[in-house]
Structure 1
Amino acid sequence: MKKRCAKEALKMISDGMTVGLGGGSTIGFLIEEVKNAGKQIQAVTPSMNTEELCRKSGIVVLPLSQVEEIDVAFDGCDEVDWEFNALKSCGGIHTREKLVADMSQKYFLLADEAKYHEELKFEYPVTVEVLPSARSYVKRQLSLLGAQVRERMCDNKTGLTITDDGNYLMEARFIERQNAASLNDTLNAMTGIIGHGLFYKKATGVIVAGKDRIDIFQK
């Protein structure tokens, strides 16, 4: 289904476009489709892994800091609702991903049908990028909101995971389903939070792959 999503996304890409590419396996399939189709594009990505895949596939990569506007962008997600709000939990580049979303004329999320719900279920934690000096404060504030908070640790060394921008990552798991609008406002207003994995009103469309069909929903 991820490959089918990638094939559908390819139809929206034309030669000469500046294309935003997020991270994850579905985007990897899209890069492969772009390469096989011989599309001449420029890519912009918040992901170092995606950047490396692009370069290996002969796709020109522009530095995010030097781009003002993107024609169309694609990214994966863990959950997405009928209003195109999404939860992205597994990575840690959400702040840069949202920058790509805001820079894009069109921003599509790619998902299989199991991730597409009427409302976000919050079955995944909300990943939060935190200013190091606000570590204790933010952890307490998230706990007061009812979240179970876990600091993300490095797998290959002792210590906290550090983002590309030098910040910490926390996983805020909510037992009860949240109101996406309210939680988004609360997290955005909390001092010390740099970014988070709740993508509220960022996407302009969703490509949903089922076992025997592809649906495209867009504003």
Structure 2
Amino acid sequence: MLVQKAVKLTIKEHQILDSVMPGQDGWHLQSDLECLTSCPGYGQCDGQGPDGKVCSDRWRESSLSDDSAKVFVHVLRNFDFYNQGDLPGLAAKSEEVTALRFKFLQAMDDFSSQEYTEGSLLLTQHRRRERAKGLSLRLKWERFDQTGKLECEACAIDFFAVYGEAGFRVIECHHQIPLSHENHMGKTRLEDLALLCANCHRLAHTDEQLHGVDALKEYVKEAQGNPLPPA
């Protein structure tokens, strides 16, 4: 699906993307363009992006994929570098730019959560607890904007420092009060959630006593201070 159909963009968000994608008014000639080496498509796209359109003035015609979403996230995170000054008052940390980057991160999160069926075709029925879409990513962004980190609250590994933007997809959101628990009142607040790595998240669900992040943190700290003897 094309970007302009897959992501609901406001008129202002169209203007923001126009200001950072090459080929717009104010940009230098293609031969003079400078790209950051941290771009996911650097050295492969020749200024044209993963599918030949995203990193150009034809970005609206680009299809939204995991690869193209990474480029959008990249240029928006580096808005101060790519912007040609045609939108004064905006910066990488501006609310409008941050909100737009959030939309593409949400798209990446949706790509990573897709399920694929293998082998025989089966008809299955199941019930699952409804979750607030976007709440996990909102917590990750708020925590990152506050600290500059994506840190597991139990073992303290910073997944942004290790993996960069991919850290948003690696670190997980933990409900300290499980949705199925009798004490869950049907509404989840951000303070009810915690960011955990996959290992600590799995550990938290091995014992109800460890659902709370404070108890889990103490458990992990004690375990790290008392490593198992060699086999």
User: How does the TM-score come out when normalised to structure 2?
Assistant: 0.27
Higher relative strand content: 1
Larger Rg: 2
User: How does the TM-score come out when normalised to structure 1?
Assistant: 0.28
Structure with the bigger RCO (C-alpha within 8 Å, sep 6+) is 1
